[in-house]
Amino acid sequence: MTASPDELEREHTLSTATTRYDELRMRDALAAVAGGTPGDDVAPALSRDEALEMLALSEVVIRKAGYGRQAMVRAARGAGASWTQIGTALGSSKQAAWEAHTRWIEEQARQHDRTGYEGLAPDAVAEARDLAGEADS
């Protein structure tokens, strides 16, 4: 049975998801070079379930890295960084950095509204919005 990214996200940390993804990716690459097939001892190709697991794990890694990125944006703002400085650190404009962060805040609010526990609670959303300020700050 194929696990969804939501299921795997609850099961893995960023570190364990990345480790498992790398194991599968490396085995897949070695099988391609060696011409392995399922059942080979040297470099067996991934099974359908493993290929789907690797795909779902890639989504988990993207999600968890995104959460960490926004946490670091909040930390930078809390430490007094401007949106220009944050944009530079992210390799983007200050406007793009601010817009991505405010979209993340709004998504966290919607997630909390939907589930009642995931995402950011209303008080945390208000605090995050205050910390984000305007794009020109």
Mean pLDDT in runs of 10 for the chain (137 residues)?
87 94 94 67 82 96 90 95 96 96 94 88 95 88
Domain boundary among 12, 30, 65: 65
pTM: 0.67
Residue 70 lies in a domain: no
The predicted pLDDT at position 43 comes to: 67
Per-residue burial over 22-38, b if 16 or more Cβ lie within 10 Å, else e, is eebeebbeebeeeebee
Residue 74 lies in a domain: no
Q: Which domain holds residue 17?
A: 1-65
Q: Are residues 96 and 46 both part of a single domain?
A: no
Q: Are residues 15 and 43 both part of a single domain?
A: yes
Q: Are residues 9 and 49 both part of a single domain?
A: yes
Could you report how far apart the first and last alpha carbons of the chain are, in Å?
Answer: 49
Domain boundary among 18, 35, 65: 65
The total number of structural domains that make up the chain:
2
